[in-house]
Amino acid sequence: MTTTGTVRYWAAAKAAAGTAEEPYAAATLAEALDAARAAHAANPEFARVLLRCSFLVDGDPVGTRDHGAVPLAQGGTVEVLPPFAGG
């Protein structure tokens, strides 16, 4: 079942996306990220940045879980976090 929510980009991900946040319509994290890659296909740097990012879904770290197995909730939030210096 497709849900809607918000993807928030931080630091290099925000710069590559050209926006701080945008909506998603997806059932899983993998679907949301695929849609984001397609929406930003004109900027290849966006896909490269995503490869280095960590993700939080509604405040919970995704870690090494398969993105296709991470469900998204209606009205949820996906945080896209590139590596930060010193942390």
Alpha-carbon span 53 to 82, nearest angstrom:
4
- How far from 68 is each of 30, 31, 84, CA to CA, in Å? 5, 7, 25
CB atoms within 10 A of CB 58: 12
The reported pLDDT for the residue numbered 1 is: 86
Which candidate, 65, 68, 58, 72, places its Cα nearest to that of 2?
72
Judged against a pLDDT cut of 80, whether residue 30 lies above it is answered with yes
Residues 6+ apart with CB under 8 A from 87: none
The reported pLDDT for the residue numbered 86 is: 56
| Prediction pTM value | 0.93
The reported pLDDT for the residue numbered 73 is: 97
Q: Tell me what the mean pLDDT of segment 41-56 comes to.
A: 96
Structural domain 17-81, CATH architecture = Roll (3.10)
The reported pLDDT for the residue numbered 78 is: 98
Residue range 51-84, pLDDT digits in tens: 999 999 999 999 999 999 999 999 999 999 998 7
